[in-house]
Amino acid sequence: DTEVTQTPKHLVMGMTNKKSLKCEQHMGHRAMYWYKQKAKKPPELMFVYSYEKLSINESVPSRFSPECPNSSLLNLHLHALQPEDSALYLCASSQNRGQNNSPLHFGNGTRLTVT
Partner 1 sequence: QKEVEQNSGPLSVPEGAIASLNCTYSDQGSQSFFWYRQYSGKSPELIMFIYSNGDKEDGRFTAQLNKASQYVSLLIRDSQPSDSATYLCAVGKVSGGYNKLIFGAGTRLAVHP
71 scored as a contact of partner 1 (CB under 8 A): no
Residue 52: count other Cβ atoms within 10 Å of its Cβ: 16
Strand partners, 4: 25
- Supply the DSSP symbol for 107: -
Radius of gyration of the chain (CA): 13
Instruction: Characterize the bridge pairing of strands 4-7 and 53-57.
Output: unpaired
In the complex, least distance from residue 26 CB atom to partner 1, rounded to whole angstroms: 17
Considering only 78, 81, 104, 114, the residue that binds partner 1 (CB under 8 A) is 104
Residues contacting partner 1: total by CB under 8 A: 26
Considering only 11, 34, 36, 43, the residue that binds partner 1 (CB under 8 A) is 43
Q: Is the distance from CB of 82 to CB of 25 less than 8 angstroms?
A: no
83 scored as a contact of partner 1 (CB under 8 A): no
DSSP secondary structure letters along 6-26: EE-SEEEE-TT-EEEEEEEE-
* Segment interacting with partner 1 (CB under 8 A) among 18-26, 40-48, 59-67, 69-77: 40-48
Considering only 41, 77, 82, 113, the residue that binds partner 1 (CB under 8 A) is 41
Residues that bind partner 1 (CB under 8 A): 2, 31, 33, 41-45, 48, 50, 55-56, 88, 90, 96, 99-109
